[in-house]
Chain A
Amino acid sequence: MRQTLSDSTLFRFATAGSVDDGKSTLVGRLLHDSKAILADQLDTVTRTSTERGFGGAAGGIDFALLTDGLRAEREQGITIDVAYRYFATDTRSFILADCPGHVQYTRNMVTGATTADAVIMLIDARKGVLEQTRRHLSVVKLLRVPHIVIAVNKIDLQDYDEAAFAAVAAAVRRVTGELGLDAVHIIPVSALVGDNVVDRSPNTPWYDGPSLLELLETLPAVDAVATAVESFRLPVQLVLRPQGAVAVAPTDADAYRDYRAYAGQVASGTVRVGDTVTVAPGGGSTVVTGIDFAGASLDQAVAPQSVALRLRDDLDIARGAVIGTAGTMPQLVKELDADLFWLDPRPLRPGARVLVKFGTHTVQAIVGSISGRLNLDTLDLEEAQSLEINDIGQVTIRLAAALPAETYAANRRAGAFLVIQPQDGATLAAGIVTAAGPES
């Protein structure tokens, strides 16, 4: 049954792969075949393809030109930065983060993966699993991306040979097995020709799975997955206390003079009116008396809704506080074990003074020690005196103020943080908590 678009859901996915695996071509094909490329865009790309002699005398369209947005990218034929693309089918709207495959731009892969419901990883059917495939899969594993789709591309250049696909698929399964990744889907595709991208291809009769787009339409989004298992958390962004400055009609202004509500986006779980909640820091418990959204009163809210909570008691709650279901809140801690994805050209050394941002709370911190650097090929921890750009390392962090930190394994939102350079404000690293404590 055709659904109306207003009922459709949002699904975010990222693409990853090594240089020349045909990632931009796949993205261009996906957009083109799902009719997301409009006539004037196609005209421009067709003209440029012809001018550059793409496809030789026979001509053809270089789909990579659709996604390479910057002049330097078009000139060098590479992708530099994450590009966001939008397309929709009858049931879903998609936000696609097209991430570059170059080693030096791994930080963009991390950027794309932190918000993704799924990652599509391209593998060249002729080359099989490369060093970088392993690395990207390790990143995806650490960041807990819910779904992994392996697109075994250029299957046309292998004459649609089932055995060639099976060999690559077996190699992929070995790696994902070692990494402990489940929910891995493997699809034979040709981005250039369009096999199994939008429609199932007659060229691969031995493959009985869904096309790439069919799969993307049916995978559950991360919020739907997390809502079922993670506890309710709302990091307070600000306190809504309009006092005199009300936007409602003057006749109602008096009624809102004492209005006070705690605004934020539900990070995980579900909250209902009448729920008993605990606030951290502070530790006070109270009851949710109302869930407001711009003049509407809701009976419940789920991640990722932006709402404002009214509470029965006037507790001391400011920006940075976390409201969560009573009995599920973690202890306040001042020490953490964490994995850092180091993203800055300046290396990390032990003793570095930084800022960390958890939810809506930014605090000073010191990186105490570097336990080691992850070897992404073996997943072993190697001794390291510093972390360089694109390294993933295990560190200990001391916080200036106690925070209700949780492990990333228990809660994606509450266990994730930024590491920020205090002077120039640069984002130095993406961090995930692996152990919190001891209690402060």
Chain B
Amino acid sequence: MARERKPKLAVWKFASCDGCQLSLLDCEDELLAVADKITIANFPEASRAVIKGPYDVSLVEGSITTPHDAERIHKVRRASKVLVTIGACATAGGIQALRNFSDVKDFVAIVYPSPEYIVTLNKSTPISDHVFVDYELRGCPINKYQLLEVVSAFLIGRKPIIPPYSVCMECKRKGNICVMVAHGTPCLGPVTQAGCGALCPSYNRGCYGCFGPKETPNTNSLAEWCKKLNVSRDDLTRFFRNFNAYADSFRKESEAHER
């Protein structure tokens, strides 16, 4: 008879701020219970112990920005039964994908006195540009309850239940007054995927798109509405060009207004 085995979870980091993997340690009430059910086999931010793969679930944080990382992600994929990207960097390239709209050589020269020491790729790209990804969890940062849902779903062997609709749905359910209609504040809520709990509009500010494009986003219509609020072309470009700047629909919309 086969011995009962605890599933193995691994956490991998590429170019990122560490915030999404910190979400796992921020599950203060759930962490010890989770650690009881699964083996945390590779999680350098939290442990010096490393257990060899293969891993049942790998959580990947960060985007690919160096030739070394472009190789390393393939090793991670080979060692993982299920690969889940966590956060805007791994899913859309992150804030560091702002380089994709400029010449990275200029960027290196601005930041580093000895550019020859720096090895970097022209573009910051999502994990799915490099390997097959089983599931993409959105957010900058991710929502820790969505993370628990995704990890439990894959460990049980079912599909994660993560709503693909817009922030507007969450806002209406909360009973918020629309910041765009009532106050004329530009808001990415109509084209951004839910998950944060409509945080920004609840604090009287417009959504700035942490969770990336919703399914079938009508970015062009939103841009037209923003123009009616006297948002300049430069501001429109910046509006769509944030933490999910390289997500397809946001990228196209920001480029449409770029001068």
Q: Do A and B bind each other?
A: no
Interface, chain B (partner A; CB < 8 A): none
